[in-house]
Chains A and B, each alone.
Chain A
């Protein structure tokens, strides 16, 4: 039972850190003024146009596609797989499990492999392409390692340890409803949980901020209408 308590404390702390950290960052991004109009043109001349531009950026990584096909291939594979895997994880948090979550379970099963393949491709570039090697810091390796380890430990729970996922779900639901249940004391489960806790802490203080950041990038989200509408903010509003 001590294990359950220790992990519960870490989970609560990490969740708090993630939520507060993200909220703080998003507030800062939203609050910081953009004194000048700097959309990278050609840019949409209406708000609706910007929504469409961003939809393409977020769902199919449009700019990246026209920029570099390898990064796009591995990067997009990794992110879509990650989204599927995350969606699949919702079954641990819902009772009864939502219909669409049940529907995607079969795809989700393969997504983990796609995620690993994508990560492996991105990681390989950091060694093989001299330009990318040059710009890589230790932290860039560590984040890939962390995600890779999360995926691998997750798969190990499924294929190697045969822990009963009903017990895992009971523990997670217990966390959500503040009704602590015993944590299955399996090495892979503990490893997987520890790594996820680490990811939650790293997220709001690392380059993983690209996920919220993208939605605030002035070159992408500004409407191209400086002659029509007078824009002022920050020092240009003084």
Chain B
């Protein structure tokens, strides 16, 4: 059987979910036996050379590039998995959703202790090359259909590994209580 191809992306996340993925430690060698790696920050492949079977998405969408990337993933991948609170609910970044964008930008670039002195010209980043911020931070499932959700901030390595191998091998995931317990 052809090995499934997996891809990953980090959108509005902190890379914590990817780090947690790497916490599968030596099991990454087993995984290499099971799958091919496609586009992912882990191998620094930046484009879809071919369509993928499973993609892990970390983070929600906070700018236009995220929307673009996520839609692209949806077009090129069979199964999308939302990994972690940010992808599922917006997570920490979504805390800005109740604050008008103008205030957010002023706080970040003009008024915060680290920028108040350092930005004498009072510039809000506006280069055309920069991604445009969205009015709110959106969870992935509001932008495209997501097939699975792995909760946690970040989800434990065992959860990510268990879910991924289940998807790859087509067997039911074995997820003991400890793996989906958060306190």
Q: Do A and B bind each other?
A: no
Spell out A's residues near B (CB within 8 Å): none
